């Protein structure tokens, strides 16, 4: 019986290309069974990811009354949709840059020599929680803080006689959304960049110092070149993170701020579903932007991991 | 030689602490305000939602959806990753690539597609959170489950464990359930805590598909009852803390670094 199995496996192997690994002989017969075992996994992905995503991407090119058209995609380059994209990109860019720089400064301050170890673990623990604290509760925490009757707003007005709303600030504007987004952008940066900073080995710094390099020279010639791919990659990740966000801005502005996800949502929660293909075209635009960020992020990450332990 | 903490580090850490703590403290103070006078201090806001049937109802629904998502995700992903590590190593980079796709197809895009594709589906799927929402949440938790489980499988010797079990006469199901699963338990638990955090905070899909989960309840309270909303927001923050601390305790015990982020933006 065993011989028969072996014979079948060899016959199958001769039929295709000869495998180089010796144990492939034994697994040759079992291979189809193993493939059967991963069918449920691919079925789940196909049914609930590929088919819905494909429906959106194809639907973006369909007309309201059938047939193929570029009208929906063309509309994206006109108001108000162009403005929604501009707002989304602006908020994502601002929070990625400030979040990236601030998060790096925080992570470096916590990880550099001299900072007590308990501060490091406190920062990483808290970042793990805060990076996950988004959406509706986060929006309300800021309404309670910086809203028109927020605790800090009232404190500034009553005690320090500074009326931030009188000075043009509003939590429910683009600036307000940016302030709130930083609450998850900064900790995300800390989490993503901390391993890279830890990878900056102390020996490198000591070697540079013993060769007479100052702090500035060390950063210019060693620190920044080693960390740059990680910092760029993390900042791009932050951009995508803010670009895809929906709940926080929706809750904060009651769906009034024109961001791409909010405009898409209006087609489904409101009564304005006159052309679902336009919503699909808006979603296609998000897909294109996020795919572009991933195309930049993945090679950067690969390069950054060269120095990771 | 022990260096002292750098002054610039102190400045950054104090600024960071202020930014992160002030909203939490403000929310706490806000939640303690009395509804009648608008002054401190009253626990009325907490009493309000604790006696609210919708609070318990939606919280329970979200927890149950979380557990169902975790159960289905583990049932699908664990055998798949086992087979991939045992027999189909060439598939691993393919799945790792697929795990990036949910970042390119964010919840808002996913739900648009799901609604369009399954609008005509039977109501036990389309009309029920157990069907439609869990199916969508499986995709949301897929990357976190994959990276967590994959690390778990890489840390054990799948081939030796399988051969040992089989040579002792174990069947395939027995090998998987009684030998492999106990060895990847903490990786599976880590992925599960992240999945729980995702599902408990998920708003986008539930809102567009119009299911009344816990985040939808918080949004509703926020529109109608300011002090109560502060109280519920703090409860929600506490739940995130609990899920993440569970993950961290787990990570510390295994010496692994849990750096994954599962956001409900």
pLDDT digits (tens, 9 = 90+) for A260-271: 999 888 887 765
pLDDT surpassing 70 at residue A17:
no
Per-residue pLDDT, averaged over A134-158, amounts to 87
* Residues 48-107, chain A, touching B (beta carbon < 8 A): 48-49, 51-56, 59, 102, 105-106
- Give helix A81-111 / helix A174-199 axis angle, nearest 10°: 40
pLDDT at A7 over 50: no
Question: In this model, does residue B239 exceed pLDDT 90?
Answer: no
pLDDT of residue A206: 83
Percent residues over pLDDT 90 in chain A: 25
pTM attached to this predicted model? 0.84
Cα A11 from Cα B242, distance rounded (Å)? 57
Give the pLDDT mean for A77-97: 91
Q: What is the pLDDT of residues A26-81, one digit of tens each?
A: 444 555 777 888 899 999 999 999 999 998 999 888 887 778 888 888 888 888 88
Cβ separation of B259 and A250 shorter than 8 Å? no
Strand residue runs (E) in chain A: none
Q: Of A147, A140, A238, give the one whose Cα is nearest residue A189.
A: A238
pLDDT on residue B229: 85
Mean pLDDT of B124-133: 87
Q: What are phi and psi of A161, to 5 degrees?
A: 55, 40
CA B160, CA B85: separation in Å to the nearest integer? 12
Mean pLDDT, rounded, for B190-211: 89
Gap between the Cα atoms of A241 and A282, Å rounded: 17
Residue A119 touches chain B, beta carbons under 8 Å = yes
- Please tell me the predicted confidence (pLDDT) of residue A16: 37
Of B37 and B10, the one with more pLDDT? B10
Split at pLDDT 50, 70, 90, the class of A124 is confident
pLDDT tens-place string over residues A127-138: 887 877 778 889
If you count residue pairs, one on A and one on B, with CB atoms under 8 Å apart, how many are there? 277
| A194 close to B (CB below 8 A) | yes
User: Cβ B20–A130 below 8 Å, yes or no?
Assistant: yes
Residue of chain A whose Cα is closest to the Cα of B247: A128
Q: Which of B20, B113, B259 sits opposite A191 (nearest CB)?
A: B259
DSSP run (H or E) holding A133: none
Tokens at residue A103, please?
A: 């998060």
CA atoms within 13 A on the CB side of A65: 0
What span, in angstroms and rounded, lies between the C-alpha atoms of A171 and A209? 47
pLDDT band at residue B63 using 50, 70 and 90 as cut-offs: very high
Nearest CA in chain B to A137: B233
Contacts 24+ apart (CB under 8 A), A195-199: A195/A308, A195/B257, A195/B259, A196/A227, A196/A230, A196/A231, A196/A234, A196/A304, A196/A307, A196/A308, A197/A104, A197/A107, A197/A108, A197/A111, A197/A227, A198/A111, A198/A309, A199/A226, A199/A307, A199/A308, A199/A309
A68 beta partners: A62
Average pLDDT (A223-241) is 89
Instruction: Considering only the beta carbons, identify the residue of A27, A41, A265 that sits closest to B108.
Output: A265
Nearest to A247 among B20, B114, B203 (CB): B203
Reduced to 3 states, what is the DSSP secondary structure of residue A62? strand
Which of B4, B106, B113 is closest, CB to CB, to A290?
B106
Specify burial of residue A165 (Cβ count, 10 A radius: 0-12, 13-18, 19+).
middle
Please list every residue in chain B whose beta carbon sits closer than 8 Å to the beta carbon of residue A245: 265
pLDDT at A6: 32
Residue A184, chain B, CB below 8 Å: the answer is yes
Closest CA to A57 of A299, A296, A291, A284: A284
Q: Which residue from B84, B112, B136 is facing A48, i.e. has the nearest CB? A: B136
A180 Cα to chain B: minimum distance (Å): 10
pLDDT digits (tens, 9 = 90+) for B153-199: 988 899 999 999 989 988 888 888 899 999 888 888 888 888 888 89
Closest partner residue to A135 (CB to CB) among B24, B259, B265 is: B265
pLDDT tens readout for residues B14-36:
999 999 999 999 999 888 886 66
How sure is the predictor about B1, in pLDDT bands with cuts at 50, 70 and 90? very low
Torsion sign across C-alpha atoms A23, A25, A28, A30:
negative
Q: Over the Cα atoms of chain B, what is R_g?
A: 22
- Pairwise CA distance, residues B145 & B99, whole Å: 9
pLDDT, position B14: 92
Instruction: Report helix, strand or coil for A204.
Output: helix
Average pLDDT over residues A220-224: 85
Mean pLDDT of chain A: 82
Q: Is the dihedral of CA B250, B252, B256, B259 positive or negative?
A: positive
Say if A30 is an interface residue toward chain B (CB within 8 Å): yes
pLDDT of residue B212: 92
For an interface test with B, which of A247, A263, A304 has the most B Cβ atoms less than 10 Å from its Cβ?
A247
Most B CBs within 10 Å, among A49, A88, A280, to test the B interface:
A49
pLDDT mean over B219-239? 85
pLDDT band at residue B38 under the 50/70/90 scheme: low
User: Is B251:B190 a contact under the CB 8 Å cutoff?
Assistant: yes
What single string gives the DSSP state of each residue in A269-288? HSS-TT-HHHHHHHHHHHHH
pLDDT at B2: 55
Cβ atoms of residues B261 and A131 within 8 Å:
yes
CB-CB under 8 Å, A112 with B142:
no
């Amino acid at each position: 019986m065993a011989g028969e199995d072996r014979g079948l496996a060899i016959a199958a192997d001769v039929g295709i290309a000869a495998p180089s690994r010796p144990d492939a002989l034994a697994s040759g017969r079992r291979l189809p069974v193993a493939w059967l075992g991963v069918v449920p996994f691919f079925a789940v992905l196909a049914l609930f990811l590929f088919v819905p995503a494909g429906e959106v991407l194809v639907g973006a090119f369909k007309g309201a009354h059938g047939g193929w058209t570029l009208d929906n995609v063309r509309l994206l380059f006109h108001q108000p949709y162009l403005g929604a994209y501009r707002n989304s990109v602006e908020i994502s860019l601002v929070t990625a840059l400030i979040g990236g720089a601030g998060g790096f400064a925080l992570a470096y301050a916590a990880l550099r020599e001299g900072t007590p170890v308990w501060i490091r673990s406190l920062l990483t623990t808290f970042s793990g929680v805060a990076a996950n604290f988004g959406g509706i509760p986060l929006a309300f925490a800021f309404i309670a803080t910086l809203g028109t009757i927020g605790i800090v707003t009232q404190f500034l007005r009553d005690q320090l006689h500074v009326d931030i709303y009188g000075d043009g600030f509003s939590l429910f504007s683009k600036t307000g959304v940016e302030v709130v987004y930083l609450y998850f952008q900064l900790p995300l940066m800390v989490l993503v960049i901390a391993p890279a900073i830890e990878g900056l080995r102390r020996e490198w710094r000591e070697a540079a110092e013993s060769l007479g390099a100052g702090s500035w020279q060390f950063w210019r010639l060693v620190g920044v070149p080693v960390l740059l791919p990680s910092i760029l990659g993390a900042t791009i990740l932050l951009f995508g993170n803010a670009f895809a966000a929906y709940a926080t801005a929706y809750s904060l502005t009651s769906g009034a701020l024109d961001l791409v996800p909010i405009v898409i949502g209006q087609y489904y929660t409101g009564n304005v579903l006159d052309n679902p293909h336009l919503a699909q075209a808006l979603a296609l635009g998000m897909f294109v932007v996020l795919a572009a960020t991933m195309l930049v992020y993945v090679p950067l990450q690969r390069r950054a991991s060269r120095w990771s332990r | 030689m022990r260096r002292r903490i750098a002054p610039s580090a102190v400045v950054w850490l104090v600024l960071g602490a202020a930014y992160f703590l002030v909203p939490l403290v403000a929310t706490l103070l806000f939640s303690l305000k009395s509804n009648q006078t608008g002054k401190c201090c009253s626990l009325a806001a907490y009493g309000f939602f604790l006696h609210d049937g919708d609070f318990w109802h939606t919280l329970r629904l979200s927890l149950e959806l979380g557990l169902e998502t975790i159960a289905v995700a583990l049932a699908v992903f664990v055998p798949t990753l086992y087979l991939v590590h045992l027999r189909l190593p060439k598939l691993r980079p393919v799945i790792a690539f697929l795990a990036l796709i949910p970042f390119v197809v964010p919840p808002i895009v996913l739900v648009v597609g799901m609604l369009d594709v399954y609008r005509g589906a039977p109501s036990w799927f389309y009309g029920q959170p157990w069907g439609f929402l869990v199916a969508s949440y499986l995709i949301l938790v897929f990357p976190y489950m994959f990276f967590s489980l994959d690390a778990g499988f890489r840390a054990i010797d799948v081939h030796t464990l399988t051969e040992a079990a089989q040579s002792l006469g174990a069947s395939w199901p027995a090998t998987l359930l009684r030998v492999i699963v106990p060895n990847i338990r903490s990786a599976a638990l880590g992925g599960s805590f992240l999945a729980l955090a995702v599902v408990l905070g998920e708003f986008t899909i539930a809102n567009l598909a119009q299911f009344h989960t816990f985040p939808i309840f918080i949004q509703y309270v926020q529109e109608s009852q300011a002090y109560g909303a502060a109280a519920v927001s703090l409860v929600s923050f506490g739940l995130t803390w609990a899920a993440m601390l569970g993950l961290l305790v787990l990570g510390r015990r295994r010496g692994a670094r849990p750096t994954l982020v599962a956001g409900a933006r």
